[in-house]
A = this chain, B = another copy of it.
Amino acid sequence: MALRHAVLAALLDEELSGYQLAKSFDLGVANFWHALPQQLYAELAKLEADGLVAGREVVQESRPNKRLFKVTDEGLAELERFAAASAKPSMLRDDLAVKVQSSDLVDTAPVIAQLRERATFARAKIELFESLLLKFRKGLGEEEFLRGGERIGPYLTCLGGLVFEQGYLEWCERIAGILEARKSGGRHE
């Protein structure tokens, strides 16, 4: 019952279609919540049935019509309750770390390759987040924006995504280097 709150939080700033929501769960919101498009469509339908979001049809000329959803007052009240309730510990699942954990007993070459790939991905995300942060604060300095800005929620989570990706990037590079060194340099002295 928590995907619903992630969806509500994502819809706070703009009216979005299911399709756009799915995009944003692949980029921005993906920093702290993962979900597939099918789930989002299903969740939007449930949220609408429960009156927490309101949808409206938008007819388009040059592409298929879409339904835009916005959070209702009831939806906001639900978020309010959610924020006040105690949070579950965050949950992480990382294939790559499982591979690193096994890395002495398993061929490291593909693991190193995947670490490098993930590092490249992290660099792209970092760039994206940095440009998003700039966009959010529209020319204001960070201090000033965080003190006086109207809407800082997305900025703060973006900041979180940034530190996460920076940490992950450093880790990937370091681990790849270590495993590489052990492969080429003789291990046991």
A92 contacts B by Cβ under 8 Å:
yes
Q: In the complex, what residues of B have CB within 8 A of residue A171's CB?
A: 159-160, 163
Q: In the complex, what residues of B have CB within 8 A of residue A159's CB?
A: 171, 174-175
Whether A101 and B154, one on each chain, are in contact in the complex, defined by CB atoms closer than 8 angstroms, is yes
Whether B90 and A160, one on each chain, are in contact in the complex, defined by CB atoms closer than 8 angstroms, is no
Whether A9 and B98, one on each chain, are in contact in the complex, defined by CB atoms closer than 8 angstroms, is yes
In whole angstroms, how far apart are the Cα atoms of A188 and B32 in the complex? 29
Q: Which of B29, B31, B83 contacts A106 (CB 8 A)?
A: B83
Copies of this chain present in the complex amount to 2
Type the 1/0 row for A8-26, where 1 means its CB is closer than 8 Å to any CB of B. 1110100000000000000
A145 to chain B, nearest CB (A): 10
In whole angstroms, how far apart are the Cα atoms of A32 and B96 in the complex? 9
Whether B105 and A96, one on each chain, are in contact in the complex, defined by CB atoms closer than 8 angstroms, is no
Whether A178 and B163, one on each chain, are in contact in the complex, defined by CB atoms closer than 8 angstroms, is no
Q: In the complex, what residues of B have CB within 8 A of residue A31's CB?
A: 92, 97
A95 contacts B by Cβ under 8 Å:
yes
A74 to chain B, nearest CB (A): 14
Whether A93 and B34, one on each chain, are in contact in the complex, defined by CB atoms closer than 8 angstroms, is yes
Mark A residues whose CB is within 8 Å of B: 2, 5-6, 8-10, 12, 29, 31-34, 76, 79-80, 82-84, 86-107, 110-111, 114, 118, 121, 146-148, 150-154, 156-157, 159-160, 163-164, 166-167, 170-171, 174-175, 178, 181-182, 185, 187-189
Closest 6 CB pairs of A and B: A32-B97, A90-B94, A87-B95, A34-B91, A9-B101, A32-B94
